[in-house]
Amino acid sequence: MSDTLKIHVDQDKCQGHARCKALAPELFDLDDYGNAHEKGDGTVPAELTEKAWLARSNCPEVAIEVSES
Ligand code: F3S
Protein backbone atom coordinates (compact mmCIF):
# COMPACT_ATOMS: atom_id res chain seq x y z
CA MET A 1 0.00 0.00 0.00
CA SER A 2 1.36 3.41 -0.89
CA ASP A 3 1.88 6.12 1.69
CA THR A 4 -0.94 8.54 2.34
CA LEU A 5 -0.11 12.21 1.95
CA LYS A 6 -1.21 14.90 4.33
CA ILE A 7 -1.07 18.61 3.72
CA HIS A 8 -0.86 21.43 6.20
CA VAL A 9 -0.78 25.18 5.65
CA ASP A 10 1.58 27.01 8.00
CA GLN A 11 -0.42 30.05 9.11
CA ASP A 12 2.73 31.94 10.05
CA LYS A 13 3.95 31.73 6.46
CA CYS A 14 0.76 31.94 4.36
CA GLN A 15 0.28 35.40 2.87
CA GLY A 16 -2.89 34.66 0.93
CA HIS A 17 -1.49 34.26 -2.57
CA ALA A 18 -4.25 31.72 -3.19
CA ARG A 19 -2.35 29.77 -5.81
CA CYS A 20 -3.03 26.63 -3.79
CA LYS A 21 -6.77 27.18 -4.00
CA ALA A 22 -6.55 27.92 -7.74
CA LEU A 23 -4.51 24.79 -8.42
CA ALA A 24 -6.17 22.40 -6.01
CA PRO A 25 -9.59 23.65 -4.89
CA GLU A 26 -10.37 20.13 -3.69
CA LEU A 27 -7.66 20.39 -1.05
CA PHE A 28 -7.70 24.02 0.14
CA ASP A 29 -10.16 26.58 1.44
CA LEU A 30 -9.56 30.26 1.99
CA ASP A 31 -10.71 31.98 5.17
CA ASP A 32 -12.17 35.48 5.49
CA TYR A 33 -8.68 36.95 5.41
CA GLY A 34 -7.73 35.09 2.23
CA ASN A 35 -5.41 32.71 4.00
CA ALA A 36 -5.51 29.07 3.03
CA HIS A 37 -6.35 26.09 5.18
CA GLU A 38 -6.26 22.44 4.29
CA LYS A 39 -9.71 20.94 3.96
CA GLY A 40 -10.75 18.50 6.65
CA ASP A 41 -7.80 16.88 8.38
CA GLY A 42 -5.56 17.45 5.37
CA THR A 43 -5.56 13.88 4.12
CA VAL A 44 -4.95 13.82 0.38
CA PRO A 45 -7.03 11.34 -1.64
CA ALA A 46 -4.74 9.24 -3.86
CA GLU A 47 -6.06 10.80 -7.05
CA LEU A 48 -5.08 14.27 -5.80
CA THR A 49 -1.48 13.43 -4.93
CA GLU A 50 -0.08 15.28 -7.92
CA LYS A 51 -2.15 18.36 -7.13
CA ALA A 52 -0.87 18.41 -3.56
CA TRP A 53 2.75 18.51 -4.76
CA LEU A 54 1.86 21.06 -7.42
CA ALA A 55 0.27 23.39 -4.87
CA ARG A 56 3.25 23.01 -2.57
CA SER A 57 5.75 23.90 -5.28
CA ASN A 58 3.69 26.89 -6.41
CA CYS A 59 3.27 28.59 -3.05
CA PRO A 60 5.58 31.63 -3.08
CA GLU A 61 5.80 31.57 0.72
CA VAL A 62 6.61 27.86 0.99
CA ALA A 63 3.72 27.68 3.44
CA ILE A 64 2.41 24.28 2.39
CA GLU A 65 3.81 21.23 4.09
CA VAL A 66 3.28 17.82 2.55
CA SER A 67 4.01 14.84 4.75
CA GLU A 68 3.78 11.12 4.21
CA SER A 69 2.26 8.91 6.84
FE1 F3S B 1 -1.12 30.85 1.30
FE2 F3S B 1 0.63 29.88 -0.35
FE3 F3S B 1 -1.85 29.31 -0.68
S4 F3S B 1 0.67 31.91 0.55
S5 F3S B 1 -2.97 31.07 0.10
S6 F3S B 1 -0.62 28.73 1.06
S7 F3S B 1 -0.40 29.72 -2.28
User: Quick one: pLDDT at residue 2?
Assistant: 64
8 A C-beta contact, residue 21 and residue 2? no
In degrees and rounded to multiples of 5, residue 6 shows phi and psi of -130, 140
Atom of ligand 1 nearest to the CA of 64: 6
Digitized pLDDT (tens) for each residue of the chain, 69 residues in all: 568 999 999 999 999 999 999 999 999 999 999 999 999 999 999 999 999 999 999 999 999 999 997
The CATH classification of domain 5-68, taken from the options 3.30.70.20, 3.30.2230.10, 1.20.210.10, 1.20.120.530: 3.30.70.20
35: three-class secondary structure by DSSP: coil
Which atom of ligand 1 is least distant from the CA of 18? 5
Here the ipTM equals: 0.98
Choice from 19, 29, 31, 38 to test ligand 1 binding pocket (greatest atom count within 8 A of CB) = 19
pTM of the model: 0.94
pLDDT at position 69: 77
How far is CA 41 from each of CA 48, 60, 64, rounded to the nearest angstrom?
15, 23, 14
Domain range annotation of the chain: 5-68
